[in-house]
Amino acid sequence: MSNRVGKTYFCKICGNEIEFKKDGGGPVVCCGMEMTIKKEGFDGEE
Ligand SMILES: [Zn+2]
């Protein structure tokens, strides 16, 4: 299992950012697409 807790997830479509609090096993989805993990020091795509 991947350790997703504490990671920040980012939606490329709408720009939402969420912090992962608990891993229930399901995908993190926004705008119908799986969200990407935002790495430290990475500002995403402007
Ligand atoms: Zn979105």
Q: What is the pLDDT of residues 17-27, one digit of tens each?
A: 999 999 999 99
The rounded Å distance from CA 33 to ligand 1 centre is 8
- pLDDT bin (cut points 50, 70, 90) of residue 30 is very high
The rounded Å distance from CA 13 to ligand 1 centre is 5
More confident residue, 42 or 14: 14
DSSP 1-46: ----TTPEEE-TTT--EEE-----SS--EETTEEPEEEPTT-----
Ligand 1 centroid from CA 11, angstroms: 5
Hey, where are the domains in the chain?
A: 8-38
Q: Ligand 1 mean position to 34 CA, how many Å?
A: 9
Ligand 1: centre distance to CA 12 (Å): 7
- pLDDT of 44 > 60? The answer is no
Confidence of residue 3 (pLDDT cuts 50, 70, 90): confident
- The pTM assigned to this predicted structure is 0.72
CATH number for domain 8-38, candidates 3.30.420, 3.10.20, 3.30.70, 2.20.28:
2.20.28
Residue 44, C-beta contacts closer than 8 angstroms, at least 6 positions apart: 10, 12, 15, 38
